[in-house]
Structure 1
Amino acid sequence: MDLSPVYTLAANLWYLVPLVLVMPLIRSPWFKGKFGEFLVNLSARWLLDKSRYHLIKNVTLPTNDGTTQIDHVLVSEFGVFVVETKNIKGWIFGGLKQRVWTQKIYRSNHKFQNPLHQNYKHGLAGSDG
């Protein structure tokens, strides 16, 4: 049996192997979240005046029930801004006082913590409240 056509095809398509191996990682929620945080970091560094804004990223603070992680803190003469990054698409359903919001994309639903509640917890991390 002559396998030379198979070897020729494999030799011509070798570059697809890493792509096939990397695609599940790129589509994972972890990667999407990290990529969204990267875009916010890049935007803050390029678009904000470095003499007026100082970016601190990935801050972990102790809380009464463990720790909380803050994606971005911008410190400036105008105040301290706490930014929670969500890199998701689809329809987002949730109210101001709801603890959990829902992402609806096509026919699937995914629940995630209300980012407003998450940022509220960030503000209380250093206090007794």
Structure 2
Amino acid sequence: MDLSLVHNLIANFWYLLPLALMVAVIRSPWFKGKFGEFLVNFSAKWFLDQSRYHLIKNVTLPTEDGTTQIDHVLVSEFGVFVVETKNMKGWIFGGPQQRFWTQKIYRSNHRFQNPLHQNYKHVKTLQTLVGLGDHQMRSVVVFVGDSTFKTPMPENVTEGLGYVRYVKAHRELVLSRAQVDEVRKKVAAGRLKDSFSTDRAHIRHLKEAVATRKVAPIHRSGRKFQ
């Protein structure tokens, strides 16, 4: 190989390397997730009264089998809203009771965990921490990005700013101001430190959980347990 040719290519097109790296980062699931969370954070601060709705983002809580990570928590007198964010494009098919939903982009189909089921664990873990009743906890799923629902969705599964309308629609006071302050203190005390190492540990736990589910135990008859 002519090393001078390689050297000339690098010298003339070096500026394309950071551009390619930037494109790779933007297309990564990590960036899409973080950008989706940013949009929800921004809209919550812009469209919700910050004196009544207190936003806590990226809450990682310990569980019996590892950790669970909540994108956003909104604490208010109208309840504690636990928000799961999905930055996805394409057509979205799913129902409240289905274990998996489907994302369709042209002829390609991709299955993903029902976000309502995913958020249920978040809600219950947080509920145990703060000591509230079911009527004081709200589960919300918000899709951002260029996605379209192709099946009827429950009212707490929203697109874009639809989650703001859902939050504002709850007008019954279920928490006192003192309880709101107490919930915020308990979340601050019970959450794990918001850091890169916490995120990495949570991701490692998720990968291990997925790998465990793929290897189901074998029954003596030779069939896998369902």
Into which bin does the TM-score normalised by the smaller protein fall?
A: 0.7 to 0.9
Aligned to 2:114: 114
1:19 offset after TM fit, Å?
1.7
Instruction: Report the secondary structure of 2:69's partner residue.
Output: strand
SS of the counterpart of 1:121? helix
CA–CA distance in structure 2, aligned partners of residues 29 and 23 of structure 1: 12
Number of the residue aligned with 1:48: 48
Greater percentage in strand: 1
Which position in structure 2 is the counterpart of 1:39? 39
What amino acid does structure 1 have at the position aligned with 2:32? K
Q: How is 1:51-90 mapped onto 2 (pairs within 5 angstroms)? A: 51-90=51-90
Distance in structure 2 (CA, Å) of the matches to 1:80 and 1:124: 12
C-alpha distance in 1, partners of 2:15/2:42? 29
Instruction: Write out per-residue CA displacement over residues 68-125 of structure 1, whole angstroms, 9 at most, x where no aligned residue.
Output: 1110000011111011000001011111111111111122222211111111111222
Where does the alignment leave 5 or more consecutive residues of structure 1 unmatched? Answer: none
Equivalent residue number for residue 95 of structure 1: 95
| Deviation sequence 1:9-50 (CA, Å, 0-9, x none) | 93xx76544222210110111111110001101111122111
Q: How far, CA to CA, are the matches of 2:66 and 2:21 in structure 1?
A: 36
Greater share of residues in helix: 2
Separation (CA, whole Å) in 2 of partners of 1:79 and 1:124: 14
Aligned with 1:20: secondary structure?
helix
Q: Figure out how many residues of one structure are paired with residues of the other and give that number.
A: 120
* Amino acid corresponding to residue 86 of structure 1 in structure 2: K
SS at match of 2:87: coil
RMSD, aligned α-carbons: 2.1
TM-score by length of 1: 0.81
Q: Distance in 2 between matches of 1:106 and 1:24?
A: 22
- Identity of aligned pairs, percent? 78
Write the distance in 2 (CA, Å) between the matches of 1:14 and 1:46.
41
Partner of 1:19: 19
Give the secondary-structure state (helix, strand or coil) at the position aligned to 1:49.
Answer: coil
Q: SS at the partner of 1:41?
A: helix
Task: Show structure 1 runs of 4+ deviating over 3 A.
Answer: 13-17
What is the TM-score with the length of structure 2 in the denominator?
Answer: 0.48
Letter in 2 for 1:50: Q
Q: Which consecutive residues of structure 2, in runs of 5 or more, have no partner in the other structure?
A: 129-226
* Alpha-carbon distance in structure 1 between the residues aligned to 2:107 and 2:76: 43
What amino acid sits opposite 2:48 in the alignment? L
